[in-house]
């Protein structure tokens, strides 16, 4: 696992791709709004958002996690679409739910919520209970 600044993101992923990490297994985000307890590498400044990228190499088999610090006042990072076309949907999901923008993404639009939805529901400062949920009663056969 490596923890890096946003400025190192694209060059780090490109270098790992060249080293054989040819499969993007996952890309997601964590919002550390009021949590200052996480550990980051020396020389790296912890930010509110952390983009988490999991890459895989098959020869030799290996998994690498990259944690990228993304500031609250400018939540944007380069898109990995040119290296990993499968990043398209994962980046849209992070954009939709956390509000991180991916520069040079081919279609950065909402993927889960309607286009007119206001806010990003997985941010820690998003209002709780804004969408009422109705549950059906389950009939049990005994």
Distance CA 29, CA 101 (A): 12
Distance CA 102, CA 91 (A): 7
In a domain, 136, yes or no: no
CATH number at residue 25: 3.30.460.80
In a domain, 48, yes or no: yes
In a domain, 99, yes or no: yes
In a domain, 58, yes or no: yes
In a domain, 9, yes or no: yes
Nearest-Å Rg of the Cα atoms of the chain is 18
Q: What is the mean pLDDT of residues 73-80?
A: 98
Q: Which residues pair with 52 in a beta bridge?
A: 28, 67
In the chain, the number of structural domains is 1
Please say if the pLDDT value at position 11 is more than 80: yes
Compute the half-sphere exposure of residue 133: CA atoms within 13 Å on the CB side of its CA: 3
pLDDT of res. 1: 92
In a domain, 131, yes or no: no
* 99-129 tens-digit pLDDT: 999 999 999 999 999 999 999 999 999 987 6
pLDDT of res. 107: 95
In a domain, 135, yes or no: no
pLDDT of res. 10: 97
pLDDT of res. 72: 95
Please say if the pLDDT value at position 83 is more than 60: yes
Please say if the pLDDT value at position 131 is more than 70: no
pLDDT of res. 104: 97
* 20-76 tens-digit pLDDT: 999 999 999 999 998 878 888 899 999 999 999 999 999 999 999 999 999 999 999
Distance CA 67, CA 52 (A): 5
Note down the domain range covering 13: 2-103
b/e map 18-47, b = 16+ CB within 10 Å: eeebeebeebebbbbeeeeeeeeeeeeeeb
Distance CA 48, CA 75 (A): 9
In a domain, 122, yes or no: no
pLDDT of res. 114: 92
**pTM reported for the whole predicted model:** 0.86
């Amino acid at each position: 696992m490596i923890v890096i600044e946003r400025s190192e993101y694209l060059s780090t992923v490109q270098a790992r791709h060249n080293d054989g990490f040819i499969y993007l297994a996952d890309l997601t985000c964590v919002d550390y709004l009021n949590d200052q307890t996480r550990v980051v590498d020396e020389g790296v400044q912890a930010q509110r958002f952390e983009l988490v990228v999991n890459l895989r190499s098959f020869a030799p088999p290996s998994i690498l996690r990259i944690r990228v610090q993304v500031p609250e006042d400018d939540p944007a990072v380069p898109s990995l679409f040119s290296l990993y076309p499968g990043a398209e949907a994962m980046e849209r999901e992070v954009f939709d739910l956390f509000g991180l923008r991916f520069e040079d993404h081919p279609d950065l639009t909402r993927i889960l919520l309607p286009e007119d939805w206001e806010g990003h529901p997985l941010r820690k400062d998003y209002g709780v209970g804004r969408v009422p949920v109705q549950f059906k009663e389950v009939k049990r056969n005994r």
